[in-house]
Structure 1
């Protein structure tokens, strides 16, 4: 398998969780806002909409390889911020796993930002 195909598969795998989570947040904005309010976030509805859009649009951008480096940095920061806001109760084993998952995703996005989206991407076609 070529490196281009492997990078494409990596982008697909990184993007799935963000596309699905962003879509879920946006289509259930009241529940998402209520959940965010439990973390004492300011203006939870606005934060919920913003988080949903970042995840959905960012995930789609990574999937197709559009503005990949910029979006990868954004989603890396988003992943770390999410870990620090929502997954700090390490006495709950699942929260620790979610925290570590978010850090691992951030690492994957930093690698994507450093090495780019590969030949099978919108970015490569535009270059």
Structure 2
């Protein structure tokens, strides 16, 4: 769903463990993405993230623990689906990370894996690396 400025937005979860970050791949795709998705009408970022992570990884996000990590944009005219905006949050969760039927694979990526993700996701990996959170 697009924001007021008409730019499509995704709300994404950034989960870092041991200097690696959780990524997911959908069926029929080779590229990995941060888990999350588009808002449904009337949803807040926290409602979107809770719903999407439950749908994709069958785990419960603690909405009260959500912290905005950053907002990353693909500019208009970019070959990879621009314009596009991804709003990223860290958050605690409860329960195992179990891929649902819509997720083909989950993986833990380091900075060297950035060639396996979309352009906007690579911007997040870069920010994590520059912040010392990703090796």
Task: Provide the TM-score with structure 1 as the length reference.
Answer: 0.27
Structure of larger gyration radius: 1
More strand by share: 2
More helix by share: 1
